[in-house]
């Protein structure tokens, strides 16, 4: 056992010693205006979560969840394939299918497991799966577990993708998997080009919309709406219910045949429990709210533009982000830790991201960030606070 556990745990021990540790902090309460009460820190402005549309606690979503608890309780006591399929699962799947303009949809108990289940089901060791270098870990794990030949192309680089697809030594069927919005960098995949290349080289295309559903496109319908592309651009439309949608779980939308396959052979349908009923009801109600209240998406887009301008005005760069995720590069990982700590001391819930590329702060400037009491008071100073330059 001893050999399995390293002596020093990554940078955790050092961060604790330096008084810069800020992970697993306990949130005691969600407060209005995107604020949270954090144990040992008091009230903070939440800029580290993904409440893109400010939907958590929406009365219609809470009520839908409560109604379903009255009807089914809180669990299913079984996997989807055997005894765990409830009417609420089917209702949610019909809603996702219509929201994503697909024939059908199938849901799973986590976004992570949705990617693993789908990829493992679709490709095998005789095939090839091609991914963007910055794709989410759940995609990477799905590819590895599938045993397919796993090839990566340079981030959002279409020449690099084409040279992978051209390579005639790669075996079998080809599946290209990309994030729609990259979760660390906040930039958007060049979907028109990716889709053209997939068609030209006969590859199927799967897109992960964890950070684009409810977020991009004029009415929040995601990546196809953002680019004005037809609904059949993406073959396997994957997404989660854990970011803009205040629940948990994931989906794949696509053809009837695809969903039939995932229902009967996806590991997430056979070997693990489905979405708990209140979570399924919350996801369904949240999609209905997104459809009914498009002003939420407009406000998110306005806020994103506003915050980007504020950061630019003081010379802060945020890579190629085009969404509400702002990666503020701050040199090495220690510098990022120190800058994050300086933000936290000023009441901003912002965390550093430790990466092999560089250390950075990741800020998610969601719908309700602006207009909160804290933000209004500090608006002019905000970018300086992030830089750690304000002397107040």
Ligand X SMILES: Cc1ncc(COP(=O)(O)O)c(C=O)c1O
Q: Which residues bind ligand X (CB under 6 A)?
A: 110-112, 115, 136, 138, 179, 183, 208, 210-211, 240, 242, 250
Residue 179 neighbours by CB distance under 10 Å: 26
- Tokens at residue 282, please? 């919350």
- Alpha carbons 1 and 279: distance in angstroms, whole number: 37
**215-229 core/surface letters (b: 16 or more CB in 10 A; e: else):** bbbeebbbbbbbbee
Indicate the residue among 249 and 359 with the shorter CB distance to ligand X.
Answer: 249
User: At its nearest, how many Å lie between ligand X and the CB of residue 358?
Assistant: 19
Q: Rank residues 112 and 307 by Cβ distance to ligand X and give the closer one.
A: 112
Nearer to ligand X, 84 or 250 (CB): 250
In the bound state with ligand X, the residue whose beta carbon lies nearer, of 116 and 382, is: 116
| Token couple for 338 | 């120190």
Least distance (Å) between residue 231 CB and ligand X: 21
DSSP secondary structure letters along 196-226: HHHHHTT-EEEEE-TTTTTTSSTTS--HHHH
- Cβ-based nearer residue to ligand X, 54 or 249: 249
41/267 with CB nearer ligand X: 267
| CA-based nearest residue to 244, from 274, 278, 289 | 289
When the beta carbons of 137 and 256 are compared against ligand X, the nearer one is 137
CB 234, min distance to ligand X, A: 15
Q: Which is nearer to ligand X, 138 or 344 (CB)?
A: 138
Q: How far is the CB of 355 from ligand X (least distance, A)?
A: 14
CA 305-306-312 angle, to 5 degrees, is 85
DSSP track, 153-183: E-TT-HHHHHHHHH-TTS-SSEEEEEESB-T
Distance of closest approach, residue 354 Cβ to ligand X, in angstroms = 16
Which structure tokens are listed for 153? 């192309």
Q: Which residue is nearest to ligand X (CB)?
A: 111
CB 223 to ligand X: min, Å? 12
Cα separation, 266 vs 251, in Å, equals 12
Report in angstroms how near the CB of residue 135 gets to ligand X at its nearest: 8
| Helix spans in the chain (H) | 12-17, 59-72, 87-99, 111-122, 137-146, 158-166, 191-200, 223-227, 256-265, 267-270, 277-292, 295-313, 333-345, 373-378, 382-387
Instruction: State the nearest-atom distance from the C-beta of 122 to ligand X, in Å.
Output: 16
The closest alpha carbon to 227, from 245, 249, 242, 212, belongs to 212
- The DSSP-derived string for 127-153 is SEEEEETT--HHHHHHHHHHT-EEEEE
Q: Least distance from C-beta 210 to ligand X, angstroms?
A: 3
| Closer residue to ligand X, CB minimum distance, 248 or 387 | 248
Rank residues 164 and 207 by Cβ distance to ligand X and give the closer one: 207
Residue with Cβ nearer ligand X (211 or 346)? 211
CA 96 – CA 369 distance, rounded (Å): 28
Total length of the chain: 392
Report the C-alpha gap between 246 and 46 in whole angstroms: 15
Smallest gap, in angstroms, from Cβ of residue 266 to ligand X? 15
Smallest distance from ligand X to CB 240, Å: 4
CA distance 194 to 103: 22
């Amino acid at each position: 056992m001893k050999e399995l556990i390293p002596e020093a745990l990554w940078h955790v021990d050092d961060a604790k010693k330096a008084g810069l540790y800020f992970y697993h902090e306990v949130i005691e309460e969600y407060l209005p205006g995107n604020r949270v009460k954090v144990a040992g820190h008091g009230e903070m402005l939440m800029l580290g979560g993904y409440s893109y549309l400010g939907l958590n606690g929406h009365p219609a979503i809470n009520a839908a969840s409560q109604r379903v608890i009255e009807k089914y309780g809180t669990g299913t006591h079984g996997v989807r394939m055997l005894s765990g399929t409830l009417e609420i699962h089917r209702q949610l799947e019909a809603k996702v299918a219509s929201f994503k303009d697909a024939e059908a949809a199938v849901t799973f108990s986590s976004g992570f497991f949705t990617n693993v289940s789908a990829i493992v089901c679709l490709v095998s060791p005789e095939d090839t799966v091609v991914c963007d270098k910055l794709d989410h870990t759940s995609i990477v794990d799905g590819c590895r577990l599938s045993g397919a030949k796993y090839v990566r192309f340079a981030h959002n680089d279409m020449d690099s993708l084409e040279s992978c697809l051209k390579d005639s030594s790669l075996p079998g069927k080809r599946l290209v998997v990309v994030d729609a919005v990259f979760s660390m960098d906040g930039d958007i995949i060049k979907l028109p080009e990716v889709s053209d290349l997939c068609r030209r080289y006969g590859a199927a295309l799967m897109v992960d919309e964890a950070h684009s559903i409810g977020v991009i496109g004029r009415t929040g319908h995601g990546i196809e709406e953002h680019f004005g592309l037809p609904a059949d651009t993406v073959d396997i439309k994957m997404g989660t219910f854990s970011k803009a949608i205040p629940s948990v779980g994931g989906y794949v939308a696509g053809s009837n045949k695809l969903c039939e396959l995932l229902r009967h052979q996806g590991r997430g349908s056979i070997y693990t429990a489905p979405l708990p009923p209140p979570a399924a009801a919350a996801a369904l109600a949240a999609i209905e709210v997104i459809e009914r209240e498009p002003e939420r998406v407009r406000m998110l887009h306005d806020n994103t533009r506003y915050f980007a301008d504020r950061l630019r005005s003081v010379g802060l760069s945020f890579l190629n982000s085009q969404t509400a995720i702002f990666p503020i590069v701050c040199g090495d990982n220690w510098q990022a830790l120190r800058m994050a700590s300086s933000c936290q001391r000023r009441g901003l819930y912002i965390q550093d991201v430790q990466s092999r590329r560089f250390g950075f702060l990741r800020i998610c400037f969601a719908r309700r960030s602006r207009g909160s009491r804290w933000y209004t008071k500090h608006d002019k100073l905000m970018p300086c606070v992030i830089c750690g330059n304000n002397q107040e």
